Amino acid sequence: MDTIKFRAFCTVAELHSISKAAEKLYYTQPAISTQIRGLETEYGARLFRRNGKRIELTEAGQELLPIARQILKLFEDSANAVRRVAAVENHNVHLGASGMPGVHLVPELVARFKEKYPQHIVAISIANAYQLERMMADGEVDLGIFGRSVPIQSTGRFMEIELFEDPLVLVVGNNHPLACQETIEADQLMGESLILPPQRILTRTSVDERLKQLNVQTKLAFEIANSEAIKRMVANHLGVSIMCESVVKAESRVGWLKAIPIHGLMLSRKVYLSYPQEKESNPAIKELVTFIREYFHA
DNA sequence: TCACCGTAAGCCTTCACAGA
DNA sequence: TCTGTGAAGGCTTACGGTGA
């Protein structure tokens, strides 16, 4: 926005000199003369009376001076207002996550991020992968952590980074006969009562397919969508489960559950970070992306 | 004589537009 | 989408005119 004409006008009026005004505004004298002349042409009136070396406001100029000052003040206020809003926007980031990463990874991740960047405000949305995909495509969330690769990546607008590979492990209660083992063979699952998520969940599909390939016969005891409920049921000795290692990390640490790698199962889930490329222009988002990559060594 | 302002010429940047 | 070209605008430098 061009306010130089008004700034030149006000400065010349204050200093009674085009040369001094030019010096103050870091222009040359002819440049300021041209600006004043341009203003006079636009208004169709002389704004300054040239008296030899001294330059004085005409009546028209005196009339314009307070209005010009007001215009400059309004411009400054508007610029400040926009800068304030932009500063807030540049510190806001909306992180989305699908179920498993949202519950088991994001809270700790965000806590560490806030320790390092307390000035950034992180909003979190946890949704299923399909909902999260839609939210990202609509720009409702800035970046998403998914428990699988997402099809929107194929549009070319989105960046996708593989963060880490989360192995599927057997989860048993601390009194279960297998709890004393550090690893087990897949065929040791034979006859175990499994508590698994429903068939529409990727983990369940993968487990079913792999166990079928290995010809391991198990018994489905319960089918529950909520991983927290599954863990509580396992802890209450209602069966065993197969889930991502990160999901039972906290319970394993305190000894409520035991996570045992299954030799030969060779199943894992990859966790991805996805975001639209244009979002990198927001400093908070860029810093969060860098932080997530470093956090997962991706 | 000096300080200041206006004018002219030339240079640079930006923008719009056409063509590949 | 990128590149080249011409027009327009704005700036600086150089110089002339004017008044204290």
Tell whether A154 and A279 lie within a shared domain: yes
How many Å does it take to go from CA A242 to C1' B20?
60
How many Å does it take to go from CA A36 to C1' C6?
29
Chain C positions within 7 A of any protein Cβ atom are 10-14, 18-20
CATH number for the domain harbouring residue A228: 3.40.190.290
- The count of domains in chain A is 3
Q: Which of A88, A116, A148 is the last residue of a domain?
A: A88
Q: Which of A88, A119, A135 is the last residue of a domain?
A: A88
Give SS3 for A11.
Answer: helix
Nearest residue to C18 (CA, C1')?
A52
Tell whether A160 and A274 lie within a shared domain: yes
What are A65-102's pLDDT values in tens digits? 888 888 888 877 877 777 777 666 677 888 999 878 88
Tell whether A151 and A274 lie within a shared domain: yes
Chain B positions within 7 A of any protein Cβ atom are 3-9
A27 touches strand C (CB under 7 A): yes
Alpha-carbon gap, residue A88 to A296, rounded angstroms: 28
Tell whether A234 and A176 lie within a shared domain: yes
Alpha-carbon gap, residue A18 to A40, rounded angstroms: 14
Could you tell me the two tokens for A258? 């035991």
Distance of CA A55 to the CA centre of its chain: 57
A218 touches strand C (CB under 7 A): no
How many Å does it take to go from CA A58 to C1' C15?
29
Beta strands in A127-254 (DSSP E): 143-146, 158-173, 184-185, 193-196, 219-223, 241-244
Tell whether A80 and A219 lie within a shared domain: no
**List of residues 6+ apart from A11 with CB closer than 8 A:** A21, A24, A25, A32
Alpha-carbon gap, residue A263 to A171, rounded angstroms: 14
For A207, the domain range is 166-268
Tell whether A146 and A197 lie within a shared domain: no
**List of residues 6+ apart from A92 with CB closer than 8 A:** A120, A121, A123, A284
* A47, A51, A53, A57 alpha-carbon torsion, rounded to 10°: -30
If you compute the radius of gyration of chain A from its CA atoms, what whole number of angstroms results?
33
Distance of CA A19 to the CA centre of its chain: 51
Tell whether A234 and A255 lie within a shared domain: yes
Alpha-carbon gap, residue A87 to A121, rounded angstroms: 12
Tell whether A150 and A277 lie within a shared domain: yes
Tell whether A274 and A159 lie within a shared domain: yes
Q: What is the pLDDT along chain A (298 residues), one digit of tens a residue?
A: 457 788 888 888 887 878 778 877 777 778 788 778 777 777 777 788 776 666 778 888 888 888 888 888 887 787 777 777 766 667 788 899 987 888 888 888 999 998 988 888 888 888 877 778 878 877 778 899 988 776 655 556 678 889 988 899 999 998 899 999 999 998 888 888 999 988 777 788 888 888 888 888 888 889 887 888 899 999 998 999 999 898 898 888 888 899 999 988 888 888 999 888 777 777 788 889 999 999 988 6
Q: Which amino acid is at A120?
A: H
Tell whether A152 and A182 lie within a shared domain: no
